[in-house]
Amino acid sequence: MLAVSRTPVREAFARLQERGLLETSSGGMAVAKLGRPQVMELYAVRARLEGAAASFAAENASAAEVASLRHAAALFDSQQKTALEAARANTMFHEAVYEAAHNSYLMRMLEDLNDSLALLPDTTFSVPGRKEAARAEHRAIIEAIENRDPSLAEAAARSHIANALDGRLKMLFSAGALAQSAAVKSTSE
């Protein structure tokens, strides 16, 4: 279908498995599923890396990059029709922070981390109140970056991710999610 030999496909699958994005299953390979421990680990690393990116951005961002952050935040503020639109605008905001950090190694780590985040279902912006809270969190990050306060920028970014984790845990462990998990478990036993 892709007009490529099996070797590059096998190599690609091996890389994806090595990165934790694919796992072996009874039917072959499947997209990896993250349980609570993996979600906690993922968000713990995300908080540190996003905090570092904001800290570096406070040290290195140009006036144009601060303007870009403001533009991305304004786009996020205007994208409130669906949770998916908010998630896309949020990604643009975070990418603007990464670029303003001027650290290619950190950017690569964050890109890898964001690949793992893509394994999670839905977006935390489907949690009531999360979009509104994120608006204020974005403003706090921008303000700290604009004021050239690395410590405050890091704290604001880490707080933003901690609040995203709270939203994620609400999604994963709400009554509906637990009922769905129990139904899947009972059919697999």
What predicted TM-score, i.e. pTM, was given to this entire model?
0.79
Residue-range domain boundaries for the chain: 1-32, 34-175
Percent helix / strand / coil, the chain, rounded to 5: 75, 5, 20
Structure confidence by residue, pLDDT tens digits, 150-178: 999 999 999 999 999 999 999 887 745 54
Q: What are phi and psi of 21, to 5 degrees?
A: -95, -20
- Read off the pLDDT of residues 18-60 as tens digits, 9 standing for 90 and up: 666 556 777 776 666 767 888 899 999 999 999 999 999 999 9
CATH number for region 34-175: 1.20.120.530
Indicate the angle between helix axes 36-60 and 130-146, nearest 10 degrees.
30
- Quote the tokens at residue 143: 């303000």
Residue type, 86: A
**Residue partners of 23: CB distance under 8 A and separation at least 6:** 17, 29, 30, 31, 32, 33
Cα atoms in the Cβ-side hemisphere of radius 13 Å centred on 11: 5
Distances (CA, A) of 146 to 60, 72, 103, 133, 181: 10, 14, 18, 20, 44
